[in-house]
Structure 1
Amino acid sequence: MIVVFDAKCLLCSRWVKFILKYDRRGVLRFASIQGEAGQALLTEAGLRVDQLQTLLLVDGKRSWQHTAAILRVLHALGWPWRAAWLGWLVPAPIRDAAYRLVARNRYALFGRSETCLIPPADYSKRFLD
């Protein structure tokens, strides 16, 4: 599974660091929207890079966005994070509306870096570009 994220977004970068910390099996890989691999995955999913306000999770030919991507990532991390599947009980329009509100304001709320996240050396093989 590949997580496509905004490497200049500090919230997104923290999310990636969280995944790296708790993905003990190493099943998740990463591609930034600023890189070639990330842009190709976004294009395949029918998304535009400019003004992107979603996290994308790609697993083979399937992909998920917004809260569906987050819940699937948490499930992949195993216990106790797998318990987040209870989030599926909240209707998608409500979950995703909250997600989009945070995503639209992520730079103002959490900050933005002018440089992309540089993966720690021991995790660099999990980053596509």
Structure 2
Amino acid sequence: MIVLFDGVCNFCNYWVNFLLKRDKKNIFLFAALQSESGQKLLRKFNLSTTDFDTFILIDGKIYQTKSDAVISIAKNLSGFPKLVVIGKFLPKFIRDYMYDLIAKNRYKIFGKRESCRIPSLEEKEKFLI
């Protein structure tokens, strides 16, 4: 499974770090939406190559965005993060409204980097560049 994320967003990078620590099954790979690999995957699925307001989860030939992606990611984690799956019982329009509210204000609240993160040597195998 590939998680596409906004590489300059501090909030998004926090969640990537969170997932890296909890990916005990070693099933996630990561790519910044702005990276060459991220852009290639966006084009493959006919998604915007300039709108970086959502996590995108790619699993084989399908992709999910916004709250659906978050819930699917949580399903593959153990412990308390799995509680996010309960959100599936909320209507999608409510879940995505909350997601969009955070996404729209993420730079204002959490800040932004000058450039995309560069994975450490230990993380390198988990990132598509």
- The two structures have a TM-score, normalised by structure 1, of 0.94
Unmatched segments (≥5 aa) in structure 1: none
Map of 1:91 onto structure 2: 91
Counterparts of 2:95 and 2:56 in 1: how far apart (Å)? 16
> SS where residue 121 of structure 1 aligns?
coil
Match of 2:124 in 1: 124
Instruction: Tell me how far 1:82 sits from its aligned partner.
Output: 2.1
Question: How far does residue 70 in structure 1 lie from its aligned partner after superposition?
Answer: 0.6
Shift of 1:119: 1.4
Per-residue Cα deviation, 1:12-53 (whole angstroms, up to 9, x for no partner): 100100000111121100011111110111122222122331
Q: Percent identity?
A: 37
The count of corresponding residues between Structure 1 and Structure 2 is: 129
Q: For 1:58, what is the secondary structure of its paired residue? A: strand
TM-score for both structures, normalised by structure 2: 0.94
8 Å contact kept, 2:5–2:32 = yes
| Match in the other structure for 2:24 | 24
User: What is the CA–CA distance in structure 2 between the aligned matches of 1:31 and 1:51, rounded to whole Å?
Assistant: 15
SS in 1 for 2:30: strand
The match for 1:2 is 2
The equivalent residue for 1:53 is 53
1:77 counterpart letter in structure 2: L
Looking at structure 1, the residues matched to 109 and 80 of structure 2 have their Cα atoms a distance apart, in angstroms, of 27
Superposed displacement of residue 79, structure 1: 3.1
Q: Which residue of 2 aligns with 1:75?
A: 75
Q: SS where residue 122 of structure 2 aligns? A: helix
Match of 2:53, SS?
A: coil
Q: 3-state SS of the aligned residue for 1:30?
A: strand
Report the residue type matching 1:45 in the other structure. Answer: F
* Other-structure match for 1:42: 42
Q: In structure 1, what is the Cα distance between the partners aligned to 2:113 and 2:47?
A: 23
Q: After superposing the two structures, state which structure 1 stretch, 95-104 or 116-125, moved more.
A: 116-125
Aligned letter for 1:57? Answer: L
Distance 2:49 2:98 in 1: 21
